Amino acid sequence: MHVFGTVFFDLVYSGLPASPQPGTEVYASSLGLSPGGIANIAVALARLGLDVGLSAVFADDAFGHYLWSALAHEGIDLTYSTHVGEWTTPVTTSIAYAHEREMITYEERPPIELASLVPDNYHADAIVLGVADAPVAWLEQLHRVAPLVFADVAWDLDALHSSAIHEKLAHVDVFMPNAAEALALTDTSDVEDAATRLAGNGIVAVIKDGSNGAVAVDARTGMCLRVPTVEVAARDTTGAGDVFDAGFIYASLCGLPLDQQVRFANLCAAESVQWVGGALAAPCWRDLAAFWDGLEDPQDRRNYDFLAPLLAINQSRQPCTRACPSMAYAATEGFTADQ
């Protein structure tokens, strides 16, 4: 499994008594520092037990060293990532309040194109990327690298209203936007209609619809379904959509049917929103085992009975590392001058 994208340094504030207002100051009861951006998907996939390689650019600054060491700690292969000087780590501040989040981001364009970070003879089981900034010429070549290409899209009004996105979707296998992105892309107000239109590119379209669950349409079979979310007490929704993506990808690679793919993705996302932060909120198998063990309703047991064999082959019960208010990894554990 190989992931391409930008890694952000995330500062996530939660437990606020009120939303910040101009000219005022509020105190958060919780702060989590964590890798973010494409790291959300990479970490979530690694915690599910996949071998994950990452192509990303890291700045040679304190944030960049932290991000590198945090991802290495998660077992992510950084062979095809690189670090550069004269560049600044992208930073996002996320404020979680009233079951939603507001974000502010500072980002400079990386000085190196991600497509240049893997050799021509590289092969992977699947690729994950953000489709908005991906050149069409590169997308056309990706199936020579991997049989499956999964794509998401960041909220970018110019990209979402560009006809180029639909040209790019013809070169991916699964597209996983959230509801707002999907509606903007298709100029419609109905999520099911948006999913059908996106699947019209000959792909599987999966739309994340927050507390309403998710909608999936498979153009190859004509299947269309909506799967409800898993009800939990959410602390922070930062990165939940990316964790959903990872869950869907994992279930797809396991060969589960579409409804179980979406159900597993919903579960992973629901587990993540109970923690602060994006990447480090992703669930481990210990969390998923606790969910399965706690199911008492017979219908819920039937809906999630596919978990039992997955848990049998994923025996790890170690707790995950969670986001905390400081950089939990020493800079000396990051990249060195010769990497």
Cβ within 8 Å of residue 107, ≥6 positions away: 6, 8, 90, 91
Residue 264 located in a structural domain: yes
Cα(225)–Cα(197) distance, rounded to whole angstroms?
Answer: 14
Is there a single domain that holds both residue 289 and residue 173?
no
**Residues 310 and 170 placed together within one structural domain of the fold:** no
Confidence of residue 339 (pLDDT cuts 50, 70, 90): very low
Whether residues 253 and 298 fall in one domain: no
Residue 69 confidence (pLDDT): 95
Q: So what's the pLDDT on residue 102?
A: 85
Is there a single domain that holds both residue 162 and residue 293?
Answer: no
Tell me: do 150 and 202 sit in the same domain: yes
Q: What is the pLDDT of residues 82-117, one digit of tens each?
A: 999 999 999 999 888 777 778 899 999 999 999 899
Segment 319-328 shows an average pLDDT of 83
Decide which of 235, 263, 283 is a domain's last residue. Answer: 283
Q: Do 242 and 289 belong together in one domain? A: no
Q: What DSSP element (H or E) covers 195?
A: helix 191-199
Indicate whether 124 belongs to any domain: yes
Statement to judge: residues 296 and 261 lie in one domain: no
- 331 falls within a domain: no
The CATH number of whichever domain residue 39 belongs to comes to 3.40.1190.20
Question: What pLDDT does 338 receive?
Answer: 42
Q: How many domains does the chain have?
A: 2
Secondary structure string (H, E, C) spanning the chain: CEEECCEEEEEEEECCCCCCCCCCCCCCCEEEEEEEECHHHHHHHHHCCCCCEEECEEECCHHHHHHHHHHHHCCCECCCCEEECCCCCCEEEEEEECCEEEEEEECCCCCCCHHHHCCCCCCCCEEEEECCCCCHHHHCCHHHCCCEEEEECCCCHHHHCCCHHHHHHCCCCEECCEHHHHHHHHCCCCHHHHHHHHHCCCCEEEEECHHHCEEEEECCCCEEEEECCCCCCCCCCCCHHHHHHHHHHHHHHCCCCHHHHHHHHHHHHHHHCCCCCCHHHCCCHHHHHHHHHHCCCHHHHHHCCCHHHHHHHCCCCCCCCCCECCCCCCHHHCCCCCC
Same domain, 12 and 77: yes
What pLDDT is attached to residue 274?
Answer: 92
Q: Tell me what the pLDDT averaged over the chain comes to.
A: 90
In a domain? residue 256: yes
Domain boundary among 241, 259, 283: 283
Within a domain: 333? no
Same domain, 99 and 162: yes
Same domain, 189 and 253: yes
pLDDT at 92: 94
Picking from 235, 259, 283, the residue at the C-terminal end of a domain is 283
Q: Indicate if the pLDDT at residue 290 is higher than 60.
A: yes
Report yes or no on 24 lying in a domain: no
Q: Work out the pLDDT band at 324, boundaries 50, 70, 90.
A: confident
Residue 335 pLDDT more than 80?
Answer: no
| 250 shares its domain with 300 | no
307 and 176 co-located in one domain: no
Lowest-confidence segment of 13-17, 173-177, 180-184 by average pLDDT: 13-17
Stretch among 92-96, 192-196, 295-299 having the lowest mean pLDDT: 92-96
Question: Domain range for residue 34?
Answer: 2-19+30-283
